[in-house]
Amino acid sequence: VHGDLDTPVVAIDLDVVDRNISRMQARATALGLDFRPHMKTHKLPLLAHRQLEAGAVGVACQKVSEAWVMAASGVGPILITYPLIGEVKWRQAARLAAEFEIEFQVDSEVGVEGLAAHLDPAGETPVWVDCDTGRWRTGVSEPSDALSLAKLIDSRPGLRFGGLITHPAPEEAHAWFAEARSVFGTAGIAIPAMSVGGTPVSFSDAPVFELATELRAGTYIYGDRACIAAGSNTEEQCAMRVHATVVSTPAADRAIIDAGSKVLSSDETDGVRDGTYGHVVGMSEVKVSALTEEHGHLDLSACPGDLELGQVIEVIPNHACVVTNLADEVLLHRSGQTVGAVPVAARGRSR
């Protein structure tokens, strides 16, 4: 898709996207799991619709404002996989849930009471309990705490316990969910669903899949350097490429491209914390060794002089989701032909 391209540009290969959607849906089906794609990777209603048409049971959004963009484009049902805390958020959540099919996630009594006080008491909104099974981020630490929250949810008009959810699914998740099943069983409380997530784990033989009922993943649809490192996507299965122009060749061992951290982001992320900020397609000896805002620094020590001024290269970024979040639009193409530039509708929706 080079031609008269104005760089830097974030290009998305729709052929690869279609194949990735089919592949992950087939994987979830083979595991006997529902599949719920995460919107954070593409932030595009048009791709969400394709994921739903392929068999997804719904989608996951992190923030209320992101969910609004998706809901307004006919995408749903939506599970907001984030703890909503505070009057402003609860009011927003209630307004959204009054119009669309929305589910929530909590990890505190405050979170439950806030939703209960604002959502329609005549409704039956699913509220999931976030479980920290080893990620050390949000979520209750113990299955007994999950049980307490589940009981509290069920005791409140308008809410019903939706299930247990964790991200990602570390090895410890299996033991955690097994204990939860036992604890809930003893208390006579059914667990309607158990949701696990993450692109890297999706193609593994994680024991937690025996207990889980739902798989969530996002990054698989585009793929990135971290996915290549984790084995979930090959280079050919990476749909997102940043096209950039060589704008300076000040020394034989150094070149500068016009994509810096404003396009590629400074993210190193799990599996690729190695001081490298992308993979240059077809040029494995070229290292993206540093980024400043508008400059990508290419280390050519292994291939001196191999790039020339004006040359356009393709970079697979370290982390696709954050690149999406930097781009006002992405360029869709298929079979080497441009389809069109589409606004990244849910970009920047961090509230």
Q: How far is the CB of 278 from a second copy (least distance, A)?
A: 14
Q: Does 182 bind a second copy (CB under 8 A)?
A: no
3-state secondary structure of 317: coil
- Which of 297, 303, 306, 342 is close enough to bind a second copy by CB under 8 A? 297
Count of residues that interact with a second copy, criterion CB under 8 A: 64
Stretch that binds a second copy, among 28-36, 151-159, 232-240, 255-263 (CB under 8 A): 255-263
* Interface pick for a second copy out of 14, 54, 57, 85 (rule CB under 8 A): 85
Rounded CA-CA distance 31/213 in Å is: 9
Binding residues among 185-224 for a second copy as defined by CB under 8 A? none
Residue of the chain from 18, 19, 54, 108 that contacts a second copy (CB under 8 A):
108
Q: Of residues 23, 151, 295, 334, which one binds a second copy by CB under 8 A?
A: 295
CA distances from 269 to 139, 140, 161, 275, 321 (A): 21, 24, 33, 11, 11
Dist CA 351 CA 337 (whole Å): 36
Interaction between residue 110 and a second copy (CB under 8 A): yes
Applying CB under 8 A, among 8, 170, 223, 317 the residue interacting with a second copy is 8
Q: How far apart are CA 87 and CA 315, in angstroms?
A: 43
Residue 149 carries which side chain, given as an amino acid letter? L
Q: What is the Cα–Cα distance from 33 to 62, expressed in whole angstroms? A: 21
Annotate each residue in 130-169 with x if it binds a second copy (CB under 8 A) or - if it does not, as one string: --x---xxxxxx----------------------------
Instruction: Tell me how far apart the alpha carbons of residues 331 and 315 are, in angstroms, rounded to a whole number.
Output: 14
Rounded Cα gap, residues 252 and 123, in angstroms:
67
> Is 168:134 a contact under the CB 8 Å cutoff?
no
Distance between CA atoms of 72 and 261, rounded to whole angstroms? Answer: 31
The residues binding a second copy (CB under 8 A) are 4-9, 40, 62-63, 82-89, 92, 107-108, 110-111, 132, 136-141, 245-251, 254, 256, 258-263, 265-268, 292-295, 297, 309-310, 321-322, 325-328, 348, 350-351
